[in-house]
Amino acid sequence: MEISTRGKNVTPSSTLAMNAIANQLKAEGKKVVNFGVGEPDFDTPLYIKEAAIHAMLTGLTKYTPVSGLLELRQAICSRFKNDYNLEYKPDEILVSNGAKHAIFNVLQALIDTGDEVIIPSPYWVSYPEMVKLCDGVPVIINADPKNDFKITPSELEKSITEKTKLFILNSPGNPTGTVYTLDELKGLSDILVKHKIYVISDEIYDKLIYDGEKHHSIASINDEIKNLTFIINGVSKTYAMTGWRIGYVAGNKEAIKIMTDIQSHATSNANSIAQYAAMIALQGGEKELSNMVAEFDKRRKYMIEKMEEYGINYVRPKGAFYVMMNIASYKGKSINGELIDSSDKFAELLLKYNGAATVAGSGFGNDNYIRLSYATSLEDIKLGLENINNFINSLR
Ligand SMILES: Cc1ncc(COP(=O)(O)O)c(C=O)c1O
């Protein structure tokens, strides 16, 4: 088979791969604690499911406008206004098949062959791959764990060349849980405006935030940065709706029109039933959301406490539902004669010998870490952390 160069260059998603192995071990009857999960372990709230049933029963099952139902786009605009005092009109919104698809559409519309896209590492696995699929060039900035994996304005400026087109910001971040403060965002925004660099601001975890931190959208700083920014969000994480596949982008009207045209030839509109459900989701759900956030926070605190107790090095997360565990000091050690020489090997052997599934940092651009998700029960977290402690204590 003659596969395209573009196709050959794609690296499969490491998060999905690890999940698949863990599920396979479970199916074989083995007890596996799955720290690899990238979605809330909560059910979609009932009021949202009822909205979907109502949509189906009343025949709202046909094509919708490619850019999404007007009522949904209006609901999205209201959320931007209420949450971040951001003014968008429905023709500045495109609804897609999940936030991932929304990001892909932005890249398709903006990136020409050879354009550089700056991505801080550790990054969400799909960013560099999507950039490569658009024939762009990912330019990685290694964020310092001592600075909570946040990049500084001067680090950003140093990586800008005449080919730089776009910067990808993800706060709260996956896999780091990093949350940029308003001042930090202002610092980055000044550089981006000065060099006229577009921004994808992936804010999919905006509502999953702890330690009294507050989410700020970079677009809310001033009109200059707003005009350069494409905000990504969706219902996947906030409303535990990962399978419904509704995400969206807000930004410049002309660019949104191009993205809509691109989507019209690829997938047409997102699922009509899921769109009606998402519209209702966005208009409520505060109680369910605060319960979910409280539960995530309880688990996060427990994990941090235990990691301290076990002497495990980590970076304190302030958002999303992941913790980055440092594994650098275990490199060069072995278990049963098997050498740990990378985060992949650490994750593989931890799963093999102590039944804890995690995601190697290599896929996120930092081989000194593994990612642990706390979107799993507290009971499993307790057991899983004991397993990790036993594993590192048995390394020689
Ligand atoms: C940072 C980040 N952006 C985007 C997405 C994609 O979200 P969706 O499931 O809505 O496509 C994810 C999902 O894991 C994510 O972690």
Distance between Cα 204 and ligand 1 center (Å)? 7
Is the pLDDT score of 21 beyond 80?
no
Render pLDDT for 307-341 as a digit per residue (tens, 0 to 9). Answer: 999 999 999 999 999 999 999 999 999 999 999 99
- Which of 41, 44, 94, 100 gets mutated to test ligand 1 (max ligand atoms within 8 A of its CB)? 100
What domains, with CATH codes, occur in the chain?
5-43+287-391 (3.90.1150.10), 46-284 (3.40.640.10)
- Single-letter amino acid code for the residue at 353: Y
Distance between Cα 200 and ligand 1 center (Å)? 13
Distance between Cα 106 and ligand 1 center (Å)? 14
pLDDT at 17: 67
pTM metric for this prediction: 0.97
Distance between Cα 35 and ligand 1 center (Å)? 17
Element (H, E) at 309: helix 286-309
Q: Which atom of ligand 1 is nearest to the CA of 39?
A: 14
Render pLDDT for 144-178 as a digit per residue (tens, 0 to 9). Answer: 999 999 999 999 999 999 999 999 999 999 999 99
238 Cβ below 6 A of ligand 1: no
Element (H, E) at 341: none
Q: Which atom of ligand 1 is nearest to the CA of 320?
A: 16
Q: pLDDT-derived band of residue 97, with 50, 70 and 90 as boundaries?
A: very high
164 Cβ below 6 A of ligand 1: no
Range from 37-41, 178-182, 256-260, 370-374 carrying the lowest mean pLDDT = 37-41
Under DSSP, is residue 247 helix (H, G, I), strand (E, B) or coil?
strand
Render pLDDT for 110-147 as a digit per residue (tens, 0 to 9). Answer: 999 999 999 999 999 999 999 999 999 999 999 999 99
Q: pLDDT-derived band of residue 235, with 50, 70 and 90 as boundaries?
A: very high
Could you tell me which residue, 110 or 10, shows the higher pLDDT? 110
Under DSSP, is residue 1 helix (H, G, I), strand (E, B) or coil?
coil
CA angle 67, 71, 75 (to 5 degrees): 100
